[in-house]
Structure 1
Amino acid sequence: MNSEISGVVASFLITLLIAVPLGKYLAKMFAGERVWTDFMKPVENGLFKIAGIRANEPMDWKQFLKAMLTINLLWLVYGFFVLIYQDKLPLNPDGNPGMTPDLAFNTIISFVVNCDLQHYSGESGVTYLTQHIIMMFLMFTSAATGIAAAVGLFKAFRDKTVDNIGNFWEFFVKALTRLLLPLSIVVAVILAFNGTPSSYAGKDQFISLQGDTVNVSRGPAAEMIAIKHLGTNGGGWFGANSAHPLENPTYVTNMTEIISQMIIPMAMIIAFGYFIRRKKLGWVIFGVMTIGMFMLMIPTISSELGGNPNIAKMGVTQATGAMEGKEVRIGPMATGYWSTLTTIVSTGSVNSMHDSAMPLTGVWQLLGMMINGFFGGCGVGILNYFIYLIIAVFISGLMVGRTPEFLGHKVEAREVKIAALVTLISPLLIMAGTAIAAFVFSTYGNADWAVKPSNWLNNPGFHGFSEMLYEFTSANANNGSGFEGLGDNNVFWNVSTGFVLILGRFLPIIGPVAIAGMLAKKKYIPESAGTLRTDTVTFGMMTLAVILVLNALSYFPALALGPLAEYFSMR
């Protein structure tokens, strides 16, 4: 047990040691100050010249969002047709078939929006070519899109009154050339030298100790696994994701992957404070997010170490905790740590089967995705938190009898309405989607919809409800993990979650960037004795209270019907 604790503590401390200097570097790099990666300027300028982009041209928030949405739409159309016809393209040594239109629709949206909600099995659902030119390509671009959007928000608050939130293309390309690509190379090398496949050979065949002939999928997995974690994407090269012994062979790779998925979300919060020259505010936000993370992590680890109470009643000692669905080489503590981080930072990768977790663990996993503001995905974590912050500013302003202000700009009705809309859209998508799924399952159970609704769930009752709730929550949070007792590769789930994916991704980006752009245009108001300070511990706790109350009011009934009901039924 002591070694397990040491592994978790070491993973967290190493993450901090990397994230802090990385955040300072990102602040300087995106601000245009001199950094050591300036040698990439000729490459970036060459790309801009080929594409006909004027990267120094200022953009207001509308132009910024137009550029972001246009390029994402292009990738969506291009990827859809490649996935349908992948079986007719080269680099398909295992002979994998093309996707059906509904599966291609879901898959391409999922990877464009940084979710990677895979309704297919990685090694048999796509070819080596599409793993590269669709999956890996979009893992880079979707992460860079979120980072660029966040830097646009940073830029809005760096100066007193501006109409320019920066150039989307400049931030996007720099995120690729000076952050994601270099780090991916380092992580891929570590994984390759620790047993993760990195070749273009097809399936290998061997005879097991039982005498069975076994075909083992391979491929250039290390390269994809690096960016899947660094970009908080989470899509697995193999169907079992990082619970697969080739995708995550050792405890060293386990630590590498968990550190990789946290360093950029953490660094972006630190970068925010340094970029806008409000370091104290950045650290307050970092502290709130860290407290929120531990509020989910500690009970998760406790739940998994406690084991199943029904097994304990039988007189069986669970010395190592709940081990169903977990790897012996990793253990329940490191698994609990991973499951918390992967659900709060929207990575969605797994080193265990979430469907086998204890019911209370399911509560914390769901809450991590429902809140979606404790570090969050690459760039979008600070955008999600910004919405909570604006609401906290508004409520605090009402409490002290002053017009709400944030960093010298008045927060008025238009900004609050946008924040409220973004806050309400997530519960609507999650709970309306789950309600429709439950209605279809109970009413049309034997209907022939590619897969009969009666065959959706391997687990009836409370856990079955949790499986459907988890699927829509994961889609809305752009997470991609799942309670895999759900049969989700059919028309209903592919289409319904496809729409939730795209709305859950872009509305929470459009809203904060629009609010930041509107605030940036307003006349700057110098701080006075009556100004509400947003960089204090008191206001940080106020924001945390707003996050907890809003999400409790929104989601408690759904959680009570699913994982909480299952927990009490077990006792």
Structure 2
Amino acid sequence: MFIFLFLLLTIVLSIPIGRYMSKVFEGQRTFMTPLLSPIERFIYRLIQVDEKEEMNWKKYAYSLIVFNLISIASLFLLQLLQGILPLNPRGLSGVRWDTALNTAISFVTNTNWQSYAGETTMSYLTQMLGLAVQNFVSAAVGIATILVFIRGFTRKNTDNLGNFWVDMTRSVLYILLPLSIILSIILVSQGVVQTFNSYAIVQTLEGSTQTIPLGPAASQVAIKMLGSNGGGFFNANSAHPFENPNSITNFFETLSILLLPMSLVFAFGYMVRNFKQGIAIFSVMMILLLMGLGVALWSESQTNPLMQKLGISDGNLEGKEIRFGVAESVLWSVATTAVSNGGVNSMHDSTMPLTGLVYLFNMGTGEVIFGGLGVGLAGMLFYVILTMFIAGLMIGRTPEFLGKKLGPEEMKMALVPLILPPAAILIFSAIALSIPEGLAGINNPGSHGLSEILYAYFSALANNGSAFAGLSANTVFYNLTTGLGILIGRFATIIPAIAIAGSLSQKGKVPVNSASFPTTGPLFVIMVTAVIIIIGALTYFPIFALGPGLEHLLMLGR
């Protein structure tokens, strides 16, 4: 009942937020306009941008790539130099070069894969000026991507697709910043730490001393959750009591994982002037989410057979915080792997094998089950384009969607994110399993060790950032390979999305008639869902069988 009410509340909140987002991105007046419009205009003057100037797809993609490259370089340098910079009360030295490079790539691409412990590696300045800032702008880049994609369907006979700098500014100013302020206040009120004081030194009951990490965590946790980022201020992420102390903070943080990705689906429906289309795509995502949630809840409610021999039969509580229990931990974990958030309130490495399989499948779809901000919906539209192509072959018509004919150019671009990331996952995993540098990171041999390596590259290529933390990943090999994988996963989605938008925007609208394939009914929902499941099953079945599948059978003693 709790999960049902939680999902219902999230949906109810997402619809008006989606409407608000559509107004913001279409330049309409909202209740925030009087307050934020002067700030918005000041920002444009400061960066010398004409908000009325529009870009074609190549210029838009160029601006996005240049911004990301500058962001990676600046965050990389900030980490290397943090030892001589202020707001470093613990006197932490500069970050090792491979870890710094991996972290820079990870946070700039909205992945937030962390091979380091935040409280022992990053200064307050690096956390605030580097990581927290990227949490905002990386989410804004994802939103900008889906805005371009939507304009490709809504505009005709033009190559104008909006302005990257305007889209990103509005995303941060009107959406991410206000919601983050609200969530930060809620978190601070419940005990999430927010201070510039140095770490506390306390005396324990045994008479020894213990260092208690502190820092400006609440402000970073808020955007980490809302922006599909997931990178924790502390090493234990939201399992840490200073990031997520009780059920109230856990509720709001879990809600924040799903809130904006869901809202963007409804915003899509409003912006294409076909709300039923948004509902249809939302239905596909919700079906896949509920399927994974059902399997994971059942799996985690079972006691590990190895523990049953010891007389324990309370479900799988290993790796979970007692203050949250099984249901809240599973809901969070399924949501965070579906949405490409990657933040955790329990240890994924300690889940049952079938639960781990759900997490891998969620990421293996390309994070299209709501997915990361903007990029997740873009990934779903790639599957929609593929589905419409298949439907077109079945009925003998040129495929079309939202009044736009889908030609060879769109099909080729749509297949890039469906082929390249899975291929990279398998190649990187094979390399890691073939050389000493890769095998050295495995702490759990056998099928679970394989699952740990697979999870690392699934997480990197899906821009998720969570981990089976039993893998020792803070090595030059894993930092470089996961970093490269993160870049492939991010831009193999963004660039094709923008390119497809550029092609579609130059086409005229095709009137919908009785011979057109209906894209708002149950048949469309079933077909898209089936395509996603079939592609996922065919692509990854062998490694799923050798990893979590085999581990499950071994656990049962078969």
Selected match of 2:505 from 496, 520, 541: 520
AA of the residue aligned to 2:379: N
Q: Which residue number corresponds to residue 476 of structure 2?
A: 491
8 Å contact 2:132–2:220 — kept in the other structure? yes
Mean Cα displacement is larger for which, 71-80 or 338-347? 71-80
Return the alpha-carbon distance in structure 2 between the equivalents of residues 569 and 316 of structure 1.
20
Selected match of 2:392 from 393, 397, 403: 397
Return the alpha-carbon distance in structure 1 between the equivalents of residues 241 and 334 of structure 2.
21
AA of the residue aligned to 1:517: G
- Written as runs of structure 1 = structure 2, the 5 A alignment for 1:101-116 is 101-116=97-112
Q: Does 1:227 pair with 2:227?
A: no
Selected match of 1:551 from 536, 544, 552: 536
Selected match of 2:433 from 425, 435, 438: 438
8 Å contact 2:221–2:232 — kept in the other structure? yes
Return the alpha-carbon distance in structure 1 between the equivalents of residues 51 and 241 of structure 2.
44
Q: Which residue number corresponds to residue 457 of structure 2?
A: 472
- Secondary structure at 1:439's aligned position in 2? coil
Selected match of 2:180 from 163, 184, 198: 184
Q: Does 1:364 pair with 2:387?
A: no
Selected match of 1:297 from 293, 297, 313: 293
Return the alpha-carbon distance in structure 1 between the equivalents of residues 505 and 144 of structure 2.
17
Return the alpha-carbon distance in structure 2 between the equivalents of residues 244 and 343 of structure 1.
19
Return the alpha-carbon distance in structure 1 between the equivalents of residues 552 and 439 of structure 2.
24
State the 1:454 CA deviation: 5.1
TM superposition score normalised by structure 1: 0.95
8 Å contact 2:204–2:210 — kept in the other structure? yes
AA of the residue aligned to 2:319: G
* Matched positions, count: 554
8 Å contact 1:229–1:347 — kept in the other structure? yes
- Written as runs of structure 1 = structure 2, the 5 A alignment for 1:49-448 is 49-312=45-308, 314=309, 316-319=311-314, 321-371=315-365, 372-440=367-435, 444=436
State the 1:14 CA deviation: 2.5
Return the alpha-carbon distance in structure 2 between the equivalents of residues 109 and 138 of structure 1.
10
Q: Which residue number corresponds to residue 448 of structure 1?
A: none
State the 1:457 CA deviation: 1.5
State the 1:453 CA deviation: 4.8
Return the alpha-carbon distance in structure 2 between the equivalents of residues 83 and 426 of structure 1.
28
State the 1:324 CA deviation: 0.7
State the 1:61 CA deviation: 1.3
Return the alpha-carbon distance in structure 1 between the equivalents of residues 527 and 488 of structure 2.
28
State the 1:126 CA deviation: 0.5
Return the alpha-carbon distance in structure 1 between the equivalents of residues 204 and 258 of structure 2.
37
For structure 2, list consecutive stretches of 5 or more residues without a partner in the other structure: none
State the 1:96 CA deviation: 1.5
Task: Encode CA deviations 1:207-234: one digit per residue, 9 max, x unaligned.
Answer: 2233331111001100000000000100
- Secondary structure at 2:195's aligned position in 1? coil
8 Å contact 1:68–1:168 — kept in the other structure? yes
Q: Which residue number corresponds to residue 25 of structure 2?
A: 30
AA of the residue aligned to 1:417: K
8 Å contact 1:196–1:248 — kept in the other structure? yes
- Secondary structure at 1:205's aligned position in 2? strand
8 Å contact 1:59–1:165 — kept in the other structure? yes
Q: Percent identity?
A: 41
8 Å contact 2:416–2:492 — kept in the other structure? no
8 Å contact 2:303–2:312 — kept in the other structure? no
AA of the residue aligned to 2:201: Q
TM superposition score normalised by structure 2: 0.97
- Secondary structure at 2:154's aligned position in 1? coil
Task: Encode CA deviations 1:21-72: one digit per residue, 9 max, x unaligned.
Answer: 1001111111112211112111111111111111111212111111111111
Return the alpha-carbon distance in structure 2 between the equivalents of residues 470 and 138 of structure 1.
24
Task: Encode CA deviations 1:263-284: one digit per residue, 9 max, x unaligned.
Answer: 1000000000001101110000
8 Å contact 1:11–1:258 — kept in the other structure? no
Return the alpha-carbon distance in structure 2 between the equivalents of residues 350 and 561 of structure 1.
25
Return the alpha-carbon distance in structure 2 between the equivalents of residues 392 and 194 of structure 1.
46
Return the alpha-carbon distance in structure 2 between the equivalents of residues 466 and 517 of structure 1.
39
Mean Cα displacement is larger for which, 91-100 or 137-146? 91-100
8 Å contact 1:156–1:162 — kept in the other structure? no
